[in-house]
Structure 1
Amino acid sequence: MGIFDSIFGGKKDETVKDEKKSYLHWIPLISLEQLEVIKEQSKNETILIFKHSTRCGISSMVIKKFDKLFKEEHQHIKVYYLDLLNYRNISDEVGYTFQVMHQSPQLIAVKNGVSVQNSSHYDITLTDLTTII
């Protein structure tokens, strides 16, 4: 009977959780030219750069918790996602351009072309988005 229910729209499995809508909209950071765009955009609003290592367990946990920080009122925040393993040269330039020491994972807040805040590892999950913007 269960197979027919799933085919013909019977009772839904109660154990499946509704997924929370994400208000975090990633912008892939994949070129050095985007750093100039970030500096320009930061003249009008705070821009975030999230540096992530896809091989790091801590980074994977932090990125999930970071996503949960975003509420509906934060959906306009521009967040650039930097895959450290594929774009190491960009990561190096981010550190040089914004004068921050490399860490992973790392969140950098840019305002008026300079880093105004940065955090790494689990400290990222303590970020108060309202005070950043």
Structure 2
Amino acid sequence: MAELQNLESTEDLKKAWDRSKDKPVLLFKHSTTCPISAGAFEQYQRYLEEAGDEIDAYMVKVIEDRAVSNQIAEETGVKHESPQIFLIQDKKVTWHTSHSKITADSISDAIKQS
């Protein structure tokens, strides 16, 4: 199972970007007050339970760590949404989606196609 790590600073985010040079990184933007985000987070966790250690998994709480969330939007050029997930490889976003499109199956498919 991939271990989920919280990104709480822009320095944490930089380390996650750097890790994407070694292996794929999944980055989940989560609103702790939103029921849609809660459902997407359950799907993310379901995927991670089955995933091996071939990926690194991260989460940003968008309300609590707004600066990190804003930095992700700036660095990726992808408009902020919540919930939102990114697959990052070699410091490039290779897939992203949001809201109800975040499912264990959609994540798995994105990883397989990368």
Q: Structure 2: how far apart are the matches of 1:27 and 1:132?
A: 24
Please state if 1:131 is matched with 2:112.
yes
**Is contact 1:24-1:75 (8 Å) kept?**
yes
- Name the SS of the counterpart of 2:44 in structure 1: helix
Q: Which has the higher contact order (CA 8 A, sep 6+)?
A: 2
How many matched pairs?
A: 110
Partner of 1:93: 71
Deviations 1:54-106 (A, max 9, x none): 1001001111122112354x131211110111011110001111221101100
Displacement of 1:128? 1.7
Partner of 1:31: 9
Percent identity, aligned pairs only, is 26
User: TM-score of the superposition, structure 2-length normalised?
Assistant: 0.86
Deviations 1:22-76 (A, max 9, x none): x34210100101222122111111111100001001001111122112354x131
Which ranges of structure 1 fall in alignment gaps of 5 or more residues? 1-22
Displacement of 1:113? 0.9
Query: Amino acid of the residue matched to residue 127 of structure 1?
Result: I
**Is contact 1:109-1:132 (8 Å) kept?**
no
Which has the greater radius of gyration?
1
Q: Structure 1: how far apart are the matches of 2:90 and 2:23?
A: 8
Q: Structure 1: how far apart are the matches of 2:58 and 2:101?
A: 18
The CA RMSD over aligned residues, in Å, is 1.7
Q: Structure 1: how far apart are the matches of 2:7 and 2:80?
A: 16
User: TM-score of the superposition, structure 1-length normalised?
Assistant: 0.75
**Is contact 2:29-2:83 (8 Å) kept?**
yes
Query: Amino acid of the residue matched to residue 131 of structure 1?
Result: K
**Is contact 2:9-2:67 (8 Å) kept?**
no
Please state if 1:108 is matched with 2:89.
no
Q: Structure 1: how far apart are the matches of 2:45 and 2:93?
A: 21
- Name the SS of the counterpart of 2:13 in structure 1: helix
Which ranges of structure 2 fall in alignment gaps of 5 or more residues? none
